[in-house]
Amino acid sequence: MPKPLTAQQVAAISVDGNYWIDRNLYLQVCRGGASRSYRLRYRFEGRDCSMGLGSTRLFTLTEAKRRAVDALRMVADGVDPIEARRTLRRTAKTMTFEEALDAYVGVHKSTWSKKHAENWPAQVKRHCGAIAKLAVDRIDTQRVLSVLKPIWFDLSEPERE
């Protein structure tokens, strides 16, 4: 089996085509290198599938590999990652932040350590109580900042004894 491509090698590819990077991960180059994205190929329920993982402008090779591993873990758990993503997108406009968080945790929990699976959702719920019952499509920048600013200021203050 050939060696996986490095980030430098991936960045150098500019000719249109599909290029194997590592295991099930590919680079798709179109329009003379103007469009470059990561793709995951896998088999689910006996059929070949190809899933976009994002543009090389938005994601590093390391991030693409992490996304590929997350999707392959879903396949191993009997979940089609493309369908899971579609379901999240369809319901995002009608679900609350709390429901979206629960759905996200449900999809990704199997890839996390036990401690992270217990602590992270609890921390998010603790800090995001103000937006928990809001529909996801109603959460704008100002509401996100209203959640983040208290955390930022709390972290920036020196500890007092």
pLDDT in tens, the chain (161 residues): 789 999 999 999 989 999 999 989 999 999 888 899 999 999 999 999 999 999 999 999 999 999 999 999 999 999 999 998 888 777 666 788 998 899 889 888 888 899 999 999 999 998 898 899 998 888 999 999 988 888 887 665 555 55
Among the candidates 50, 77, 104, a domain finishes at 77
What range defines the domain where residue 10 resides?
A: 1-77
Distance, C-alpha 154 to centroid of its chain: 27
d(CA 21, CA 2): 10
For residue 134, give both structure tokens: 């809001």
Residue 151 lies in a domain: yes
Cβ–Cβ under 8 Å, residues 107 and 76: no
* Token duo for residue 58: 């938005």
Mode of pairing for the β-strands spanning 25-30 and 17-22? antiparallel
Number of folded domains that form the chain: 2
**Token output for 1:** 């089996």
* Assigned domain for 82 exists: no
Alpha carbons 11 and 139: distance in angstroms, whole number: 36
DSSP 95: S
CATH number of the domain to which 57 belongs: 3.30.160.390
CA distance 37 to 18: 10
